[in-house]
Amino acid sequence: MPDFLHYAFMQRALVGSIVVGTTCSFIGVFVVLRGMAFAGSGLAHAAFGGVALGFLLAINPLFSAIVFCLGTAGLIQMAGRRAQIRMDTAIGIFFAFTMALGVLFVGLMKRYDARVYGYLFGNVLGITSGNLWLMVGLAAVVIGTITVLFKELKFLCFDEETAQASGLPTGSLSALLLVLLALTVVLSLKAIGIILVEALLVIPASAAYQLTNRYGLMFVLSWAFGVLSCASGLVLSYYMEIPSGAAIVVVATVLFAAATLLSPKRKPCKVCGKEGA
């Protein structure tokens, strides 16, 4: 057994990293295929408002972040439908609003609490048993929902118009994806933080997309890249004494660069001489 696994906090950190890497890489496939990267960023920043509110009210900040993120996801969906504005516009509005609320809540605190800003960049080594159980529970909800609705979500990603014409509730499925994305953001806060969570939602799935056009294989590769990034970043942070969240994202980016260089899509077409799609 590696020496770092003799410590309970490192055991929790490793399990938490695997949970985060798995969940982010699974939902990340939908984020990449449907162009939802900005939604992930918006919900991540909305979580800051929830965390700040939790510290202000002296309650678990992860629970308040769940409520805040789910509420923001609902408002984004509602604004897109009733106000008839593009989703990226709705995300931009609530992105700014929730961050402003977070700053407001911090200002209302009677005394400065540095732990609020600890959620910006995360600290996987600080995961407690309670944090870990909450992460596992949220991950089970996200992955379980994806498993049950796998075919429907696949149809939505590849041909939304045909899916709607076939009677699929595309509006509800899109709203559900936002909810799952919100839960994934919250379960990742303690490990990699608000600032870096978007990277883990996008990079592993993007790396997988460089290597395959097959839907099922993309999930497998995305999962492999996500878990490898989190586990390797954790080990590097331990031995090199560097921030864990940043180390995880750097490893993920290196894997993406390698996948891009090895991508069969970069090989020139024998007929036209252009790079493959």
Angle between helices 8-33 and 170-211 (to 10 degrees): 110
145 and 180 Cβ atoms separated by less than 8 Å: yes
Which pLDDT band, with edges at 50, 70 and 90, does 272 fall under? very low
CA separation, residue 203 to residues 42, 57, 89, 260 (Å): 17, 35, 23, 11
User: Rounded to 5 degrees, what angle do the CA atoms 256, 125, 140 make?
Assistant: 70
- Amino acid, single-letter form, for residue 154: K
Beta bridge partners of 268: 275
Mean residue pLDDT of the chain comes to: 87
Report CA-CA distances (Å) from 188 to 47, 62, 122, 139: 11, 10, 8, 10
| Domains contained in the chain, CATH given | 3-266 (1.10.3470.10)
Please name the residues in contact with 16: beta carbons below 8 A apart, sequence gap of 6 or more: 124, 127, 131, 132, 135, 190, 191
- Residue 89: pLDDT band (50, 70, 90) is confident
Predicted TM-score (pTM) of the model is 0.88
pLDDT single digits (tens) 136-185: 999 999 999 999 999 999 888 887 788 888 888 888 898 899 999 999 99
Find where tokens 């490990």 sit.
191
% of the chain beyond a pLDDT of 70: 93
**Does the pLDDT of residue 218 top 90, yes or no?**
yes
- Per-residue tokens: 106: 């911090």
At position 86, the amino acid (one-letter code) is R
Q: What is residue 273's predicted lDDT score, i.e. its pLDDT?
A: 44
Quick one: pLDDT at residue 268?
Answer: 54
